[in-house]
A and B are shown apart, each in its own frame.
Chain A
Amino acid sequence: MSLISVRGLSQVYGRQTVLERINLEIEAQAFCTIVGASGCGKSTFLRLLLSEERPTRGVIELDGAPLGSEPDADRGVVFQRYSVFPHLTVMENLILPLELRASKFCGRLFGARRRAAVAQAEDLLERVGLSHARDAYPKTLSGGMQQRLAIAQALMPRPKVLLLDEPFGALDPGTRARMHEIILSLWQAEKMTIFMVTHDLKEGFKLGTRLLVFDKLRWDPHAPEAYGATITYDLPLEDSHGLPPELVEAASDDQPFQKPDFGSEGPKDVLH
């Protein structure tokens, strides 16, 4: 049985259709990457999975039951920015979910119970490589460190699904490559299901076990808002054979830089 099933999902804002007729079955422990042009409804789809918005039509089921009407601890999330709490140190950010669960009124733990929570967070802190920064505030951390903290924090309540909304979009390429290793190792260790929206097709191919491409199938030039996007490609990536060649080509930028060839006469448009 699949972990998530989406049936007949459409999302309409006023006269603008953003998503239409999406059907999807996602098995547990999939790493599902979502790509598409900007404004194609990737992030809307993620918001629907979060229950931040209710779908206009259709249902999303998690573990066979319809999604709750509000975001909850079943679905963790990491956004591109603002994902960690700036007024809490690294360790305080990490143990916050444990505190919220254990202490309904204060939302805080003290003494031995707090030490137990810290011990529980220790291992994850180590794995995202932030042990040395445990008492630092997020404003002193680099962008990559903040996102590592955000991912670790989102994992603390052990969500069934982790939703990543362009989590590495603001990072430089080197940092991004390290983040890829970390997220892959966490995914393998925690055996969780991940949805990741990215605008980087290469990243989508590199990380995912399944790649979803969102695009508009129908287009009315006189009413661009009339039709929404749907899933135009749903590619299993376990083996990358049999992919449409234009996608493979778009995803690899291995082509060497080519010098413009002007021939023996030099550039023609130069004025003499």
Chain B
Amino acid sequence: MGRAINQHPGAAGKVLLGALPFLLLIAVYLMASDARLAANPADKLLPSLESFGAAIDRLAFQPDPRRGTYLLWADTAASLLRLGIALAIATAAGLLAGIAIGLLPVVRAAFAPLVAALSMVPPLAVLPVLFIVFGLGEVAKVTLIVVGIAPFMVRCMAMAVTGLPREQLIKAQTLGATTWQIVTRVVLPQTMPRLVSALRLSLGPAWLFLISSEAIAATEGLGYRIFLVRRYLAMDVILPYVLWITLLAFLLDYLLQRMAQRAFAWSPEGQEP
């Protein structure tokens, strides 16, 4: 036997090993669910697969009797809209403020300490402020996500810009570039991969802030639904919603990664997962 650090699984072995924990989790859940339901058929804590199927059918494929909408899709659309707007605003802020702070020494001197301080404010602590100032509508929820991730994105982009080799900026100047041309032809294209990776890293916090704000005040949305049915111990709704949110988050991340790989073929980072 060689050392453990030199034992590599084969191609099929990798797939199998990767799937194993998932299968184990499912098996454990099913056994536990069976045991509880055998003791008490009305148990709500660990519903059977059939109850999940019924709940998914009711939420996704039957119109809601009171509203006439399909709840899962309406919730998904509402949540993704909030998330999308917030991510767009935070990305734009990261790009503009990040490049200005990273490239222009005067702007850096003026705003870098402010951004550093803002990024230390716990976003959920200012949520009450947002609700007071912006009311309970969409603006407060979107603002919470923006407040939560924009400082990170700004700092990430500023670091990406200051991390560019000084040789590049000098060379651009000797080729006759103005500040604006350096931004558009040297800095912006070279920091785009970092923007995408900053966005990918922000997805987790963004979902966290989205669900939090929806849990507190909303009339629809994925987070709203989960916290609404919590009162009825409706695990048959909560668990499929959690899986659905996880899937959406995974897909978003995957799409961004694929996009980066295609768009930034020049980048050595383009190949990384």
Contacts and interface: CB of A to CB of B under 8 A. Distances in A.
A96 B268 contact: no
Majority SS of interface residues in chain B? helix
A106 interface: yes
Interface in B166-219: 167-168, 170-178, 180-181, 184-186, 189-190
Interface string B131-160: 000000000000000000000000000000
A70 B173 contact: yes
A51 to B, nearest CB: 9
Contacts of B189: 87
Contact of A107 (B167, B168, B185, B268): B185
Interface residues of B, number: 24
Contacts of B174: 50, 71-73, 75-77, 154, 157, 159
Contacts of A105: 180
Contact of B184 (A75, A107, A154, A157): A107
B165 interface: yes
21 contacts: A50-B170, A50-B174, A52-B170, A71-B170, A71-B174, A73-B175, A76-B175, A82-B167, A85-B186, A86-B266, A86-B267, A87-B189, A87-B264, A99-B185, A100-B176, A106-B184, A139-B268, A150-B171, A153-B175, A156-B175, A157-B176
Interface in A100-156: 100-101, 104-108, 137-139, 150, 153-154, 156
A89 B265 CA distance: 11
A54 interface: no
B165 A81 contact: yes
Interface of A: 50, 52, 70-73, 75-77, 79, 81-83, 85-89, 96-97, 99-101, 104-108, 137-139, 150, 153-154, 156-157, 159
Interface of B: 165, 167-168, 170-178, 180-181, 184-186, 189-190, 264-268
B175 A157 contact: yes
B176 A77 contact: no
Nearest to B193: A87
A97 B175 CA distance: 5
A79 B185 contact: no
A150 to B, nearest CB: 8
Given A96-B185, A100-B177, A156-B175, A82 B168 contact: yes
A52 B174 CA distance: 10
A81 B166 CA distance: 11
Contacts of B268: 86, 139
Contacts of A137: 265-266
Contacts of B177: 100, 107
B165 A77 contact: no
Given A86-B266, A87-B267, A137-B266, A77 B170 contact: yes
